[in-house]
């Protein structure tokens, strides 16, 4: 879990520093959005290609490679003297995190005394927590310590060295290795509409978060005239911090209500951004809090919605396809803002994208309502030996637990053949 937080934090260290890079290297707003989006463009296919690698060669080998690639990425940023170094560093960050995600989740599952579902939640929260920590730490170091474009990455390299030692302590992979096959996303026909609604919800959630991570720092620097990098980093980090704090409510409210509440909060954030273009610090702070709450509920609710219905033997491929939508949501709209800056100022481009995204929120809400069922007030609880037939590996032949045997017998009375003794008694 430590390594996943460190890798994710490193991927988002540059966010509050983009205005500094623009001033130093003189590149356009469009190029700035491409630098940010390079991470998503690389990490998405990497997740599919190297996600199953931990099963084939063991998580220790995969995580060692990820740490080495992440160290190369931080070195690129620390030594950067033009935009090419930034692009190479962002690509390496995407490669490192895309490779490590599956292996880190596997380590959390195997070495943490919690259920697999809880381990997945811990991995998700570690991902978002690292995303929040990166901008906050980078902004504070850049503002109050020497070497604003170097020191954050030197600190990250030191944290990666600790991660390397932790990874080296993991057990060696078994000699008998499984075949390494890239993940191919295939969505069962019975859940495609639900998947589309969840993917659209997650796309919007990460699109709004991506705006804060990619372009809001530059707007605060120019329009709001905020030259304190620590403040900029805090605004950006507040989005993901609120996201982490809101995610526990997904389990309490259920996937359907969480998605709807999250979409509502995202709409508030988008309207605020559309009104000011990110040029007002006070309104942007409100928009950041609303975006963070909406991101946590919508992103967590979308993942929980698919987790609840995905067949066990296809869950990995379906989850990978869902995260593809999340990654493209993180990078795509930010590039769209960059393209709009060819004709409009950056704050105007943000306003136009905010209006466009806000229009889609009600449509996605309708899709969520139509494709999911409301959570019941008293959800059914199954014991370890009494589960629905479609979720059992033994084909449904397992007998129910004694506490639930009477309910099970009444439910299946019509489908069980009657014995000869019962037929004689009935006569």
We report the CATH number of the domain holding residue 107 as: 1.20.1250.20
Query: Same domain, yes or no, for 118 and 198?
Result: no
Mean pLDDT of 313-317: 66
Question: For the chain, how many structural domains are there in total?
Answer: 2
Judge whether 246 and 292 are in contact, CB under 8 Å. yes
Judge whether 1 and 122 are in contact, CB under 8 Å. yes
Q: 426 in a domain, yes or no?
A: no
Angle in degrees, CA 7, 8, 14, rounded to 5: 100
Cα torsion 406, 411, 412, 413 to 10°: value is 70
Closest-CA residue to 272 (of 359, 351, 212): 351
Under 8 Å CB-to-CB from 203, ≥6 apart: which residues? 325, 326, 328, 329
Of the residues 374, 397, 418, the one at which a domain ends: 374
Task: Please give the pLDDT value at position 415.
Answer: 45
| Per-residue pLDDT band at 399 (split at 50, 70, 90) | very low
Query: Same domain, yes or no, for 200 and 126?
Result: no
Query: Same domain, yes or no, for 211 and 131?
Result: no
Query: Same domain, yes or no, for 147 and 231?
Result: no
Judge whether 69 and 7 are in contact, CB under 8 Å. no
Mean pLDDT of 124-146: 86
Q: 382 in a domain, yes or no?
A: no
Q: 293 in a domain, yes or no?
A: yes
Query: Same domain, yes or no, for 223 and 159?
Result: no
Query: Same domain, yes or no, for 134 and 204?
Result: no
Judge whether 204 and 327 are in contact, CB under 8 Å. no
Query: Same domain, yes or no, for 65 and 138?
Result: yes
Q: 328 in a domain, yes or no?
A: yes
> How many H helices and E strands in the chain?
18, 0
Q: State the residue for tokens 């707003």.
A: 29
Q: 369 in a domain, yes or no?
A: yes
Q: State the burial class of residue 277 (Cβ atoms within 10 Å of its Cβ: 0-12, 13-18, 19+).
A: buried
Token pair recorded at residue 173: 């992979």
Determine the Cα–Cα distance for residues 218 and 79; give it in Å rounded to an integer: 22
Of the residues 132, 147, 172, the one at which a domain ends: 172
Query: Same domain, yes or no, for 230 and 365?
Result: yes
Query: Same domain, yes or no, for 245 and 158?
Result: no
| Residue 230 domain boundaries | 188-374
Q: 393 in a domain, yes or no?
A: no
Token pair recorded at residue 189: 């026909």
Determine the Cα–Cα distance for residues 319 and 186; give it in Å rounded to an integer: 10
Task: Please give the pLDDT value at position 385.
Answer: 35
Largest Cα–Cα distance in the chain?
Answer: 95
Distances in Å between the Cα of 189 and the Cα atoms of 32, 272, 403 are: 39, 38, 36
Distances in Å between the Cα of 126 and the Cα atoms of 108, 247, 423 are: 11, 12, 60
Per residue in 14-31, pLDDT (tens digit) is: 988 998 898 899 888 889
Query: Same domain, yes or no, for 153 and 222?
Result: no
Q: 349 in a domain, yes or no?
A: yes
Query: Same domain, yes or no, for 18 and 88?
Result: yes
Mean pLDDT of 318-347: 84
Of the residues 145, 172, 199, the one at which a domain ends: 172
Determine the Cα–Cα distance for residues 326 and 197; give it in Å rounded to an integer: 13
Per residue in 225-281, pLDDT (tens digit) is: 888 888 888 888 889 889 988 888 888 888 899 999 999 999 999 999 998 887 788
Phi and psi angles of residue 177, each rounded to the nearest 5 degrees, phi first = -95, 145
Q: 270 in a domain, yes or no?
A: yes
Task: Please give the pLDDT value at position 394.
Answer: 40
Distances in Å between the Cα of 94 and the Cα atoms of 84, 139, 262 are: 16, 21, 27
Query: Same domain, yes or no, for 148 and 194?
Result: no
């Amino acid at each position: 879990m430590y390594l996943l937080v460190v890798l994710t934090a490193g991927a988002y260290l540059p966010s509050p520093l983009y205005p500094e890079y623009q001033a130093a290297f003189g590149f356009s707003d469009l190029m700035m959005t491409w630098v940010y989006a390079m991470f998503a463009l690389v990490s998405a296919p990497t997740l599919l290609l190297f996600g199953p690698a931990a099963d084939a060669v063991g998580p220790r080998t995969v995580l060692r490679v990820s740490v080495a690639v992440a160290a190369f990425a931080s070195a690129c940023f620390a030594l950067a003297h033009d935009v090419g170094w930034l692009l190479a560093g962002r690509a390496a960050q995407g490669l490192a995190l895309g490779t490590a995600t599956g292996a880190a989740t596997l380590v959390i599952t195997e070495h943490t005394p919690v259920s697999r579902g809880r381990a997945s939640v811990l991995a998700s929260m570690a991902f978002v927590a690292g995303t929040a920590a990166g901008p906050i730490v980078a902004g504070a170091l850049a503002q109050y310590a020497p070497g604003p474009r170097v020191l954050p990455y030197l600190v990250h390299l030191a944290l990666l060295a600790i991660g390397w030692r932790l990874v080296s302590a993991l057990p060696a992979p078994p000699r008998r290795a499984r075949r390494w096959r890239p993940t191919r996303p295939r969505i069962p026909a019975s859940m495609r509409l639900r998947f589309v609604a969840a993917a659209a919800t997650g796309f919007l959630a990460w699109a709004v978060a991506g705006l804060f991570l990619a372009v809001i720092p530059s707007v605060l620097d120019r329009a709001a005239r905020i030259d304190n990098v620590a403040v900029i980093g805090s605004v950006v980090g507040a989005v993901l911090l609120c996201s982490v704090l809101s995610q526990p409510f997904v389990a309490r409210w259920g996937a359907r209500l969480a998605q709807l509440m999250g979409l509502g909060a995202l709409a508030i954030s988008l309207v605020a951004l559309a009104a000011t273009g990110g040029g007002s610090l006070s309104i942007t702070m409100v928009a950041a809090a609303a975006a963070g709450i909406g991101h946590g509920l919508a992103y967590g609710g979308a993942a929980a919605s698919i987790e609840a219905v995905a067949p066990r033997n296809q869950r990995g491929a379906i989850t990978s396809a869902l995260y593809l939508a999340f990654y493209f949501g993180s990078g795509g709209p930010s590039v769209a803002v960059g393209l709009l800056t060819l004709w409009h100022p950056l704050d105007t481009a943000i306003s136009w994208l905010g209006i466009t995204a806000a229009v889609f929120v009600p449509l996605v809400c309708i899709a969520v309502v139509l494709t999911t069922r409301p959570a019941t007030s008293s959800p059914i609880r199954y014991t370890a030996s009494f589960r629905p037939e479609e979720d059992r590996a033994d084909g449904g032949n397992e007998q129910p637990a004694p506490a639930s045997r009477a309910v099970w017998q009444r439910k299946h009375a019509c489908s069980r053949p009657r014995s000869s003794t019962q037929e004689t008694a009935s006569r």
